[in-house]
Amino acid sequence: MDAIALAIPFFFLLMGLEVAWSAWTKRHVYRFNDFIANMGCGIGSQIVGAFTKAVIFAAYLWTYDTYRLFTLEKSALTWVVAFLAVDLLYYWFHRLSHEVNFLWAAHVVHHQSEEYNLSVALRQSWWQGLFSWWFYLPLALFGVHPVIIVTVGAVNTLYQFWIHTKAIGTLGPLEWILNTPSHHRVHHGSDPKYIDRNHAGTLIVWDRIFGTFQPEEEEPIYGITTPLNTWDPLTANFSYWGELIGLARRSGGWRNKVLVFLKPPGWRPEALGGRLYPIQKERTTYVKYDTTVPRSWTTMAMLQFVLLIAVTSFFLFQQHTFSVPLQWTIGGLVLWWVMELGVLMNGQRWALVSGLLRSLVLMAVTATLGPTVPGLILLAVVFLLMIPLVRFLRSPPQQPGPAPPRRMAEMPHRTEA
């Protein structure tokens, strides 16, 4: 069990407080469909991580045991050095994730939301962990024990949760040293002057040293330069890979095909028009992507989401007790579930059919666990939630559509960054 999963209750507590602040101040920083999409990406990231983190730790341990040049004692000084080293390496990983296309493809998910709130912190790519770990491998080579590497990395990640908020302005002298909400709001901006700025994890000094610092001036327009326009986490995690592969196919010559993945976002061969640069969005006319669905669908999505969180938490805490086939089955079900909720928020009726099928599969899987009290409760809840799904499918189709536009000028006070 990793620290991120253990912190889930803490995350929801802070998000609840932020929702209360949003309602009190009438800032409206949350939209339910965006929240579902953010959490779907985060849940999927945890599921994929449940199958990859042990392998990554084993790679650190093997490097440390086999190739370390010397051994650092587990002293306070070692922990401080490790913290600074991890933070510096994170800066470079994060910066390159904005400057190299194949790394951006594994990171873009985090920037797709057009909102800025604590749920965006949990909007993580399903694949980023597969690309980030080897940036820290030199630490094992230089004698930092893998437990220290992983622990400090978790602290670095947990620190970045609270900076995804509009509720905090600037923090005086701390703005010179730490990565703060103000600095990170810049990082999530799609405005050209904010793109590829403020890559820090914990210490903003790295951006100041390496020339990527940008103070917050006007509030950013959040998101990426070309909005995703869907709430489906599956599309969120695969769409940019599809764009890169399509561009590589259209590019002439193997050199250009390879460069598609190594050049910055927006790069194209000259034969295809050359590099595209971000354009400033017009604040008075820019409209966020939004959809409306029947209220009954939203209520169903809320109930399904609560159950999804319970099932996911149970899996993350009990994964070691399941057989490998059962682990993969439950993991696949959870990914199916988050995709289904995103599609439901898009207003696509086939998500109701998907919900019925997924519920039946979930009930079958639960039955294999035996007559336990949690299993019987889960079976009962899943069955009860299937009843409205059947009713929705039997009712005449309603036509979900775009929500009333929310222009920047009406919003309380990205990015391909």
Instruction: Tell me: do 9 and 154 sit in the same domain.
Output: yes
Instruction: Tell me: do 78 and 206 sit in the same domain.
Output: yes
Q: Which of 335, 303, 122 is nearest to 238 (CA)?
A: 335
Which of residues 163, 190, 210 is at a domain's end? Answer: 210
What's the confidence (pLDDT) of residue 364? Answer: 87
What's the confidence (pLDDT) of residue 367? Answer: 84
Instruction: Tell me: do 11 and 104 sit in the same domain.
Output: yes
Contact 11, 117 (CB under 8 A): no
What's the confidence (pLDDT) of residue 316? Answer: 92
What's the confidence (pLDDT) of residue 416? Answer: 40
What's the confidence (pLDDT) of residue 369? Answer: 78
Residue 39, both tokens: 């959490």
Instruction: Tell me: do 187 and 86 sit in the same domain.
Output: yes
In a domain, 261, yes or no: no
Helix (H) or strand (E) holding 358: helix 350-367
In a domain, 86, yes or no: yes
Instruction: Tell me: do 8 and 151 sit in the same domain.
Output: yes
In a domain, 101, yes or no: yes
Helix (H) or strand (E) holding 385: helix 373-394
Instruction: Tell me: do 159 and 300 sit in the same domain.
Output: no
What's the confidence (pLDDT) of residue 400? Answer: 52
Instruction: Tell me: do 181 and 301 sit in the same domain.
Output: no
Instruction: Tell me: do 94 and 197 sit in the same domain.
Output: yes
What's the confidence (pLDDT) of residue 414? Answer: 36
In a domain, 253, yes or no: no
What's the confidence (pLDDT) of residue 395? Answer: 67
Which of residues 187, 210, 233 is at a domain's end? Answer: 210
Give the position of tokens 């805490």: 317
What's the confidence (pLDDT) of residue 208? Answer: 98
Instruction: Tell me: do 201 and 299 sit in the same domain.
Output: no
Contact 374, 381 (CB under 8 A): no
Helix (H) or strand (E) holding 325: helix 324-346
Contact 412, 28 (CB under 8 A): yes
Number of domains into which the chain is organized: 2
In a domain, 162, yes or no: yes
In a domain, 140, yes or no: yes
Q: What is the pLDDT of residues 281-331, one digit of tens each?
A: 988 889 999 999 999 899 999 999 999 999 999 899 888 889 999 999 999
The reported pTM is 0.89
What's the confidence (pLDDT) of residue 406? Answer: 53
What's the confidence (pLDDT) of residue 384? Answer: 73
Q: Report the distance separating Cα 75 and Cα 62, nearest Å.
A: 22
Q: What is the DSSP letter of 116?
A: -
For 146, the domain range is 3-210
Instruction: Tell me: do 193 and 317 sit in the same domain.
Output: no
Residue ranges of the chain with per-residue pLDDT less than 50: 407-417
What's the confidence (pLDDT) of residue 183? Answer: 98
In a domain, 278, yes or no: no
Contact 158, 181 (CB under 8 A): no
Q: What is the pLDDT of residues 334-352, one digit of tens each?
A: 999 999 999 999 999 899 8
Instruction: Tell me: do 77 and 201 sit in the same domain.
Output: yes
Q: Report the distance separating Cα 160 and Cα 103, nearest Å.
A: 20
In a domain, 161, yes or no: yes
Instruction: Tell me: do 41 and 156 sit in the same domain.
Output: yes
